[in-house]
Structures are given as C-alpha cells and as structure tokens.
C-alpha cells in the first residue's frame, strides 16, 4: 500500500461516517456535462483567490512528498556503499553519518512541510466548500419561494427534498475532497514520472509495460461491474417496493389471508437479488486485488531489472529503492482517477438536477404598480374567467359571478370535484388564462401577491401545523401577536379549553406529525389561527372526518362565528349552510356546472337537484 493508497483509505473515512457513501449512482448520467460544469464553476469564481491558494498548497505539498523517496534513497546508497567498501576492505570505510544526519533532517523538514501544506489546503478548502454549499442551498430555497404552486403539485416532496439535501451534500463533498484530490493526483503522476525518468529511462519504460494490462482491468471490468451493480440496484428497488407495499398493507394482507402469496413473491425477488448481488460483490471485490496483482508484477520486474542495473553500476541502490516506491506511487493516482471520474459523473448529474430546479419558471413577478396596502370590504367578482390546469383541458369557461361583501358562497359537488381549484384561483396560486377576478373592483393581478393573500383566511380539512408550540402555531396568523390576542383567538375558536387541559398549555410542543393532539383539535387550532389573522374573505372547508361529534359541534360553532360579517367561500357539506348561502356553485369533475341559489337550482332540475335529492332526502325526512 503506497502513500496515495493510504491517503485515499483514510480520506474515505469521514465520508463513510457521515453515512453518505459516494458511489456513482447508476443510470444517473448528466445530460449536459459541459454546460453544467461551467455553471458549477460560476459558484467557485467568488472564491478564486482562496482556491488559488488551495491549489498552490496542494501542488507544494505533493511536490515535497514526491521528493521524499529520492532523498531517502540517498541515505540508503550511503549505507550500501559504506558497507560494500568495508567488504572490499577499503581503509576507514564506513558510513558518513554527518551526511546521513543532514539528509534525515532535510527529510524531516520536507515531510512536515508537505503535510502542513496539505492540511492548510484542506482547511481553507473546507471553508470555501461550506460557503458555496450554504449559498447554493439558500439559493434553492429562495427559488422555492418564488415557484408557482404548479411546481409543487407536479413534483413529489421527496424529489424536491432530495435536491435540497442529498444532491447538495454530494456536490459539497465532491468539491471538498475529489477536487483537491484530483489536483494532487495530477501533480503526483507528473512528478513521479519525472523522478522515474531522472533515475532511469529504461526502468521507467519497464514500469510502464504494465500500463496496458491495467487499463484493460479498469475499463473492462469496471464496465462489467457497473452493469452488475445496475442489475443489483434494480432488483433491490423491486424488493424494497414489494416490502413497502406488503408492510404498508399489512392489515389487508392479513385479513385477506395472503401472507403466503406475499412471501412467495418476496422469495422470487430475493432470489434474483441474491443472484445479481453476489456477482456484483464478486466483481467489485476482485478489481483492487487484480490491480494490485498487476502492480506486483511491475514491482517484481522493476526489482529484477533494478538489481541488474545496480550490479552493472548504472544506478545507485538507493535509487532502486526510490524507484520501487515511485513505481507504486504512480499507479495509485491513476486508479483514483477512475474513482474520481465516477464521483464527478454523479456530482454533475446532481448539480444538473439542482440547476434544473433553479431554472424552473417562476411565478409572474408582481407588477411594479401593484397595490401593497389594500383593505377591501370583500366584494368578489369573476368576469369571463377561463381556466385549465393544462392548455388542452379547460375546466372553467367564461365564468361570471358577483359576490357582495359579507355574502356566503357554498361550493357543492361530489368528492374529488376539484374544489381546491377555486382556492388556487382566488389566491392566485395559479394564473387564469382568460378574463379577470376582482376584489372591490380591483383586478387581483394589480395587487401584490403578499397583500392579496393577506386578504384571505383559510381553514381547510388537511390542517397544516408545524413543529413548534401551540402558541407559535396560532400566532402564525399574525406577526407580533400578543399572548392576550392569541388567547382570545383560541377562546373564540373554542380551543382555549382543550389547550389549557394539555400538560404544557399554550407551550405544548406539537410533534412532527402533530399526532399528540386529535384531528378535531388541529382543526380548532387552524380556526384560531384564521381568527387571529382577521381576514376580509374566508375560504372554509366544512368537511370533518375523524372528528368526534362533540368536537365537531365546537368546530361548527367556531366556523359560524368566524363567518359573521365576512365574505365566505365554503366547501359545504351541511344542508343548512347550502340553503342559507347567497350563492351555490355546483362543481363536478373540476368544472363549475351550475350556479345560483338553492331555489333557483332546484327549479333548474339539473345536477344539483339530483345531488340534493339523493343526499339530503333522508336528512329532510327527519
């Protein structure tokens, strides 16, 4: 094991410890290799001075470490000559310890300097890398805040998350380790080659004889092993998704008595995984020994030829020793190249994914004249509004509605009828493709997004609470809310009572899934949040599932209070709400199919009438 090899062995450690084993991810090839590299370099530019120093240090450190064996060889030569002279009976023959001492001192100095340079370089580099990754991550996050909701509805959370963390970490560790490694490898190869040529061009030629063999091993076998790894990865992926499904559906597997079938399927995939797995293991396991074998052959050849040359007096014995060290040193970096090349491939692919995200189309910027302050009464109008999530599927066509301040609009329809569409349009999460939506006569596109969204309050069925105290979660509705305001909002939402029965009261910390309070209590908290925000227009979802009847009653009362005096869009589930509404929008399959008051729609005898009949016939009978 030469120095380079040892270094790479040690360097591999922190990476493994962090749990991020750097492997070239199969099948994740970059599409635009060059362009991505150029763009990545842009991030390095502000640090070019530091980087220059880092590179200079790496070069110095490597050069010094290359000088080592040659100087050490001089000491060996001195010993050998002294000994030979003594054997030949030369008078006063012996080792010149004064000279050896000087050589040793020189060596000690060189080694210390070399490692000091190496560490200093790494020290500076680590700082640069952390800064770059920090900035990039920040940039990605900023970008996320500017992306339209369409983006978040298209990609899974996992995909986005992995760009912010995994991809970024890979870029960081590559910049930090592979880059300097690459530089010192290049310098090592060049330097070692030079030293070998200085010692003996003929022996250098012999050492190079093993290169083709070596090339064959790294390219052919590596390619084969990559194929094996892809196979293994595929089977592993299949096995994992089978396990996920079987465990996720445990209750169904059990109640349908399908355990044996599931295990049978598992065995089939497991068998295939075993087959691909041992091959991948075997092939990857023999690459290094094979390379080692070729190296050893080179070593033996160099030994033989070197010994002969020493006898013929063409080189000194110390040089032979140095040459042996060099011939080993000079292949390790080349082996590393193959490794680094794989890592860089994967990194470029990761960088490309990050850049893709950075290039996503953003929300249209607010117009410079957009209103920043706006306290509307709450009059909402849709004028000839046309909208579809994609260009070829129009969901809303030329819709016209006028809602006066304080009125209630009930949105009715079967489940999955796309009621969130309305929320998306009102809050301008999506852009309409025709017509205009106005609030108090002002086009919502003429209002700053932030201001516009401040006009609305939202209480939806899927309550969103974050990890933090109950106080913080309620205060989310209003920056700088006082404790008294928070308590009053909670009381108005009928949440004060249950909050105070919790062991931590308002300071109770909700855990990640907010599973330490019930679904109904969560809904009460979101109502409190909306009350505190005091919006002019409300968007409510009446649906309450998994809520016990008493809490449901509380939620109803709190919602009714909240709606007083505000324009409200209610995704309605209760007959009374629908009947009392000033306007009913009937939606089906994402389209607004009918609109009007209860009486008007019943008279129309269409979709609503049919829905009404099946749904409320029983209720009305009571």
Contacts (CB under 8 A) with another protein, residues 525-554: 529, 533, 545-553
Exactly one of 85, 245, 440, 485 binds another protein (CB under 8 A); that residue is: 245
Q: How far is the CB of 349 from another protein (least distance, A)?
A: 21
Nearer to another protein, 432 or 587 (CB): 587
Exactly one of 32, 102, 152, 205 binds another protein (CB under 8 A); that residue is: 152
Per CB under 8 A, which region of 24-32, 190-198, 262-270, 483-491 contacts another protein?
262-270
Rounded CA gap, 241 and 259, in Å?
Answer: 16
From residue 596 to residue 615, the character string flagging contacts with another protein as x (rule: CB under 8 A) and all else as - is --------------xx--xx
Rounded CA gap, 33 and 47, in Å?
Answer: 22
Scan residues 571-590 and list those touching another protein (CB under 8 A): 574-576
Residue 612: CB partners within 8 Å, gap ≥ 6?
601, 602
Exactly one of 52, 216, 243, 375 binds another protein (CB under 8 A); that residue is: 243
From residue 110 to residue 129, the character string flagging contacts with another protein as x (rule: CB under 8 A) and all else as - is -xx--xx-xx--xx--xx-x
**Contact at 8 Å (CB) between 9 and 15?**
no
Scan residues 325-384 and list those touching another protein (CB under 8 A): none
Nearer to another protein, 330 or 476 (CB): 476
Residue 35: CB partners within 8 Å, gap ≥ 6?
none
Q: How far is the CB of 198 from another protein (least distance, A)?
A: 20
For residue 508, the 8-state DSSP code is: P
Per CB under 8 A, which region of 34-42, 49-57, 95-103, 493-501 contacts another protein?
95-103
Q: In the structure encoding, which two tokens stand for residue 28, read together?
A: 């994740």
Nearer to another protein, 30 or 538 (CB): 538
* Residue in 191, 177, 92, 80 with CA at minimum distance from that of residue 126: 177
With H, G, I as helix, E, B as strand and everything else as coil, classify residue 312: helix
Q: In the structure encoding, which two tokens stand for residue 44, read together?
A: 């390095």
- What is the per-residue DSSP string for 380-428? EEEEEEEE-SBTTB--EEEEEEEE-TT-EEEEE-STTS-THHHHHHHTT
* Residue in 381, 372, 370, 374 with CA at minimum distance from that of residue 567: 381
Scan residues 198-237 and list those touching another protein (CB under 8 A): 236
Rounded CA gap, 186 and 182, in Å?
Answer: 6
Nearer to another protein, 30 or 476 (CB): 476
Interaction of residue 390 with another protein, rule CB under 8 A: no
Q: How far is the CB of 248 from another protein (least distance, A)?
A: 6
Exactly one of 206, 213, 230, 297 binds another protein (CB under 8 A); that residue is: 297
Exactly one of 35, 212, 285, 565 binds another protein (CB under 8 A); that residue is: 285
Q: How far is the CB of 123 from another protein (least distance, A)?
A: 6
Nearer to another protein, 277 or 435 (CB): 277
Nearer to another protein, 341 or 575 (CB): 575
Per CB under 8 A, which region of 51-59, 80-88, 200-208, 344-352 contacts another protein?
80-88
With H, G, I as helix, E, B as strand and everything else as coil, classify residue 435: strand
Interaction of residue 427 with another protein, rule CB under 8 A: yes
- What is the per-residue DSSP string for 161-175? HHIIIIIHHHHHHII
Scan residues 443-472 and list those touching another protein (CB under 8 A): 449-450, 453-454, 456-458, 460, 464, 466-467
Buried b (16+ CB within 10 A) or exposed e, 327-356: bbbbbbbbbbbebbebbbbbbbbbbbbbbe
Rounded CA gap, 296 and 364, in Å?
Answer: 64
* Residue in 463, 454, 462 with CA at minimum distance from that of residue 526: 463
Scan residues 16-75 and list those touching another protein (CB under 8 A): 16-19, 68, 72, 75
Nearer to another protein, 363 or 383 (CB): 363
Interaction of residue 292 with another protein, rule CB under 8 A: yes
């Amino acid at each position: 094991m030469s120095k380079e090899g040892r270094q790479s062995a040690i360097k591999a450690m922190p990476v493994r410890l962090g749990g991020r084993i750097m492997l070239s991810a199969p099948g994740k090839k970059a599409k635009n290799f060059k362009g991505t590299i150029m763009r990545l370099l842009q991030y390095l530019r502000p640090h070019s001075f530091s980087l220059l120093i880092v590179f200079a240090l790496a070069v110095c450190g490597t050069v010094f470490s290359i000088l080592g064996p040659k100087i050490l060889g001089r000491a060996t030569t001195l010993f050998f000559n002294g000994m030979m002279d003594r054997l030949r009976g030369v008078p006063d023959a012996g080792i010149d310890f004064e000279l050896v001492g000087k050589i040793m001192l020189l060596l000690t100095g060189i080694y210390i300097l070399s490692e000091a340079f190496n560490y200093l370089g790494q020290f500076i580099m680590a700082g640069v890398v952390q800064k770059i990754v920090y900035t990039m991550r920040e940039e990605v996050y900023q970008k996320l805040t500017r992306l339209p909701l369409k983006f978040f509805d298209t990609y899974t959370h996992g995909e986005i998350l992995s760009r912010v963390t995994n991809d970024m970490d890979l870029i960081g560790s590559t910049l930090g380790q592979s880059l300097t490694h690459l530089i010192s490898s290049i310098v090592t190869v060049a330097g070692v080659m030079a030293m070998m040529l200085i010692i003996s061009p003929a022996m250098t030629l012999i050492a190079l004889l093993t290169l083709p063999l070596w090339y064959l091993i790294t390219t052919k076998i590596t390619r084969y092993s990559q194929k094996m790894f892809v196979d293994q990865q595929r089977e592993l992926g299949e096995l994992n998704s089978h396990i996920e499904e079987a465990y996720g559906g445990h209750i169904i597997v059990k109640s349908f008595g399908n355990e044996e079938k599931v295990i049978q399927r598992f065995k089939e995939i497991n068998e295939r995984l075993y087959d691909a797995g041992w091959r991948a293991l075997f092939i990857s396991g023999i690459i290094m020994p094979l390379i080692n074998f070729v190296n050893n052959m080179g070593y033996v050849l160099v030994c033989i030829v070197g010994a002969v040359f020493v006898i013929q007096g063409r080189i000194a014995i110390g040089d032979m020793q140095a040459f042996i060290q060099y011939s080993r040193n000079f292949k390790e970096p080349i082996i590393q190249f193959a490794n680094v090349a794989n890592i860089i491939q994967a990194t470029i692919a990761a960088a490309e994914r990050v850049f893709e995200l950075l290039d996503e189309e953003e929300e249209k910027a607010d117009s410079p004249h957009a209103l920043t302050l706006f306290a509307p009464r709450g009059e909402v109008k849709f004028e000839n509004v046309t909208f579809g999530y994609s260009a070829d599927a129009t969901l809303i066509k030329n819709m016209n509605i006028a809602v006066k301040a304080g009125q209630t609009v009930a949105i009715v329809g079967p489940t999955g009828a796309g009621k969130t569409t309305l929320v998306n349009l009102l809050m301008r999460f999506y852009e309409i493709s025709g017509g205009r939506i106005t609030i108090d006569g002002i086009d919502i596109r003429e209002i700053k997004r932030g201001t516009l969204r401040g006009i609305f309050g939202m209480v939806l069925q899927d309550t969103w609470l974050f990890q933090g105290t109950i106080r913080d979660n309620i205060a989310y509705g209003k920056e700088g809310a006082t404790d008294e305001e928070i308590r009053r909002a909670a009381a108005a939402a009928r949440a004060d009572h249950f909050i105070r029965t919790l062991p931590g009261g308002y300071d109770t910390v909700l855990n990640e899934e907010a599973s330490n309070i019930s679904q109904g209590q969560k809904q009460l908290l979101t109502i409190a949040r909306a009350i505190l925000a005091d919006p002019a227009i409300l968007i409510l979802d009446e649906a309450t599932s998994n809520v016990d009847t008493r809490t449901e009653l509380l939620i109803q009362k709190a919602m009714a209070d909240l709606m007083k005096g505000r324009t409200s869009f209610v995704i309605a589930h209760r007959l009374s709400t629908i009947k009392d509404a000033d306007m009913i929008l009937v939606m089906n399959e994402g389209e607004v199919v009918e609109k009007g008051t209860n009486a008007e729609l019943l008279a129309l005898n269409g979709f609503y009438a049919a829905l009404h009949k099946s749904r409320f016939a029983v209720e009305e009978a009571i």
